[in-house]
Amino acid sequence: GESFGWDRYHSYESIQKFIDGVIEDHQDVVTPFIIGKSYEGRDIRGIKISYKEGNRGIFLESNIHAREWITSATCTFFINELLTSKNPEIRNIAENVDWYIIPVFNVDGFVYSHEKDRMWRKTRQPTTNPKCPGADPNRNFDTHWNNDQGSSGNPCDETYRGSAPLSEPECKALADFVRSIKDKVGVYLTYHSYGQYILTAYGHDENEFPENYDDMLAIAKASHDAILDQGYGTKYTYGSAASVLYIATGSSLDYAYNELDIKMGFTFEFRDKGRYGFVLPSINILPNCQETIAAMIALVKRSKELGYL
Ligand code: 0X9
Ligand code: ZN
């Protein structure tokens, strides 16, 4: 839409209009999809971008955590670049990968973070404690789920894992959708903030590493280098999630790796390193977008070289 820009953060409504515009303006290559409904009844929408037959796919979700607004801002910029950029490197990744992108995954939480509580993280489904709604959707997936080291059983905690694996309708919908396309997907990406990390599986144990960890590190390093090359002095740290950040169980990335056999993927934790944290000033949006585009170009190139795409 004409009023959409990356100089500020947008509401849920505004992002829906952006998605509508993308679908309307690029009908030849964009196919909309809905993975299901949130607890409060909102559609969880995505788009597939495909320029030709025979491409391997990358799946990308952002705003699984509500307050991480930079993730959907960056994701919508990325979509716009894939569809409109004339830069040959961007055209290359746009046209030689099938993209499955969900710009705002945790829709209820996202709306709540705009309207009621800027620091809201979780879903909005009620729990056993009426004062503490919501589960952490990135602890609710069905992998190492009932683990007190990597999640909490207390509904009032920010890392509450939910009442059962996939108890959150959003997570169930995502698990079912990604399962349905898993044979086409070579790389799974999830956008978060903050801390400037590129994280691989595993999240559940800091001493256990995937058998293809060397490939993961090679691709992460390529993205890390590309970000540094943008010249803002933005330094990312890369490595397995549990070993470089902290143990977390039931994450979407580990679910994709462990249960769906998608053997390459990353959690990106965007700017900054903590000065502003989740409330990242909007002046950072465009530089973060530029760094992310560079990271994605490098990621696709290296993933293809190593046979994941
Ligand atoms: O805790 C999370 O879910 C992610 N960090 S955030 O600050 N965006 O909430 C990190 C998930 C990475 N996985 C592990 N650390 N295991
Ligand atoms: Zn997050």
pLDDT in tens, 262-276: 999 999 999 999 999
Q: Could you tell me what percent of the chain has a pLDDT over 90? A: 99
287, burial (CB in 10 Å: exposed 0-12, middle 13-18, buried 19+): middle
Task: Find the DSSP H helices in 85-116.
Answer: 88-95, 107-115
**Known catalytic residue: 40?**
no
Q: Where on the phi/psi map is residue 196: left (φ > 0), alpha (ψ -120 to 50), or beta? A: left
Tell me the pLDDT band of 2, cut-offs 50, 70 and 90: low
Across the range 144-155, mean pLDDT stands at: 97
* 196 C-alpha to ligand 1 centroid (Å): 12
- The dihedral sign for the CA sequence 140, 144, 145, 149: negative
Q: Is the pLDDT of residue 3 over 80?
A: no
State the helix-helix crossing angle for 88-95 and 285-305, rounded to 10 degrees: 60
Q: Is the pLDDT of residue 257 over 50?
A: yes
* 248 C-alpha to ligand 1 centroid (Å): 7
Ligand with minimal distance to 248 CA: 1
How do residues 23-71 score in pLDDT, each as one tens digit? 999 999 999 999 999 999 999 999 999 999 999 999 999 999 999 999 9
- Rounded to the nearest 5 degrees, what angle is found at the Cα of 227, between the Cα atoms of 49 and 264? 55
CA-closest candidate to residue 212, choices 223, 204, 200: 200
The complex's ipTM works out to 0.99
Nearest alpha carbon, ligand 1 atom 2:
138
* Best of 67, 158, 191, 246 for a ligand 1 pocket test (most atoms within 8 Å of beta carbon): 246
pLDDT at position 1 is: 45
Instruction: Give the separation between CA 5 and CA 14, rounded to whole angstroms.
Output: 10
> What's the token pair of residue 268?
């990106």
* 185 C-alpha to ligand 1 centroid (Å): 22
Nearest alpha carbon, ligand 1 atom 12:
241
Query: Which atom, in ligand 1's list, is nearest to the CA of 139?
Result: 3
Please state, rounded to an integer, the average pLDDT across all residues of the chain: 98
* 65 C-alpha to ligand 1 centroid (Å): 9
State the Rg of the chain over Cα: 18
How do residues 150-204 score in pLDDT, each as one tens digit? 999 999 999 999 999 999 999 999 999 999 999 999 999 999 999 999 999 999 9
Pairing of strands 43-49, 197-200: unpaired
